[in-house]
């Protein structure tokens, strides 16, 4: 039986330049889809998958994230005075004291560097990584699906999604050894390849289960594409030493790091909500009629 996944790392140290000016003073991960910040969706997904320790790799200007998961005595007193005693009923998530750790990346040198910054907090055990700017709308949360596969295959497990060939240079792309349509055995991976060089159009999206051996590779601090320390490059060096599997998960994925993806997520999540669906449907009918 593989060792259980109890810790999750949330790299939230990026600059979010594609969302300027919104992200000048607000972390990208605090951008709101309907009424919940992106980071809360990721934390809830991790909690549903059995994660018990939540490790955030933050940076300058990211204190709103810490505040968001903190106890707010003032707000809770106000709600209680209004008869609303259960903050969770209002969607406010409270993580148990001592189950949350924050460390600073100091410089946004890339996703690989952010994950490496969590090495002492993770220690010598397998762990999950969730990128808050990827949302997955699914009946069974995406990380739960990955954990189920991991329990059967051990090693490293990745969530996979197809991307248009012209977009391979935005994502980590896998080289496929074996594919049964759902579970993929991975024989290679490359970060942001140009479409002509991409070994496939299957990309790793922001959900990973990793082995702690990745930290030694990340510790070499080698720069990759875009001058950043890439997680994919270190993972590629572990190939062969540990099993690598990808899962074509069930669910709809939204790349909320791009504006179009963020807007699509907002619409899709709003349409899931009984209090909004009807009004929005009428609105879409109206604007289509106005064409």
Chain contacts with ligand UTP (rule: CB under 6 A): 11-19, 28-29, 57, 105, 108-111, 113-114, 131-133, 257
Q: ω before 21 within 30° of 0 (cis)?
A: yes
| H-helix or E-strand spanning residue 149 | helix 142-153
Looking at the Cβ atoms of 87 and 114, the one nearer to ligand UTP is 114
Looking at the Cβ atoms of 172 and 246, the one nearer to ligand UTP is 172
Looking at the Cβ atoms of 111 and 157, the one nearer to ligand UTP is 111
Looking at the Cβ atoms of 111 and 173, the one nearer to ligand UTP is 111
Angstrom CA distances, 247 to 118, 201, 256, stand at 25, 14, 20
For residues 69 and 63, what is the distance between their CA atoms, to the nearest angstrom?
A: 10
| H-helix or E-strand spanning residue 38 | helix 38-48
With contact defined as beta carbons under 8 Å apart, do 156 and 184 qualify? no
Q: Minimal distance in Å, beta carbon 63 to ligand UTP?
A: 14
Looking at the Cβ atoms of 109 and 183, the one nearer to ligand UTP is 109
With contact defined as beta carbons under 8 Å apart, do 205 and 251 qualify? no
Q: Minimal distance in Å, beta carbon 106 to ligand UTP?
A: 10
Name the residue number minimizing CB distance to ligand UTP.
14
Q: Minimal distance in Å, beta carbon 60 to ligand UTP?
A: 11
Q: Minimal distance in Å, beta carbon 233 to ligand UTP?
A: 14
Q: Minimal distance in Å, beta carbon 204 to ligand UTP?
A: 12
For residues 241 and 5, what is the distance between their CA atoms, to the nearest angstrom?
A: 20
With contact defined as beta carbons under 8 Å apart, do 150 and 87 qualify? no
């Amino acid at each position: 039986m593989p060792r259980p996944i109890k810790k999750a790392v949330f790299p939230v140290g990026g600059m979010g330049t594609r969302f300027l000016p919104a992200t000048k003073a607000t972390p990208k991960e605090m951008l709101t889809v309907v009424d919940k910040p992106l980071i809360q969706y990721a934390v809830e997904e991790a909690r549903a998958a059995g994660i018990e320790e939540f490790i955030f790799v933050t940076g300058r200007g990211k204190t709103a994230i810490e505040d968001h998961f903190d106890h707010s005595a003032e707000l809770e007193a106000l709600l209680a005075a209004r008869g609303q005693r259960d903050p969770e009923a209002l969607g406010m998530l409270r993580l148990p004291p001592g189950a949350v750790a924050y460390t600073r990346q100091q410089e946004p040198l890339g996703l690989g560097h952010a994950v490496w910054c969590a090495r002492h907090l993770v220690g010598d055990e397998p762990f999950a990584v969730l990128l808050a700017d990827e949302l997955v709308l699914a009946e069974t949360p995406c990380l739960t699906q990955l954990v189920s596969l991991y329990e059967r295959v051990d090693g490293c497990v990745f969530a996979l999604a197809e991307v248009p060939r012209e977009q391979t240079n935005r994502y980590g792309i896998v080289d496929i050894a074996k594919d049964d349509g759902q579970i993929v055995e991975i024989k290679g991976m490359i970060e942001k390849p140009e479409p002509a060089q991409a070994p496939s159009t299957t990309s790793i999206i922001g959900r990973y289960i990793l082995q702690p051996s990745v930290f030694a590779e990340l510790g070499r601090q080698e720069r990759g594409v875009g001058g950043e320390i890439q997680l994919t490059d270190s993972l590629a060096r572990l190939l062969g030493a540990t099993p690598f599997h990808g899962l074509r998960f069930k669910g709809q994925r939204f790349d909320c790091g791009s504006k179009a993806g963020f807007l699509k997520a907002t619409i899709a999540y709003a349409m899931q909500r009984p209090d909004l669906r009807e009004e929005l449907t009428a609105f879409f009918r109206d604007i289509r009629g106005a064409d």
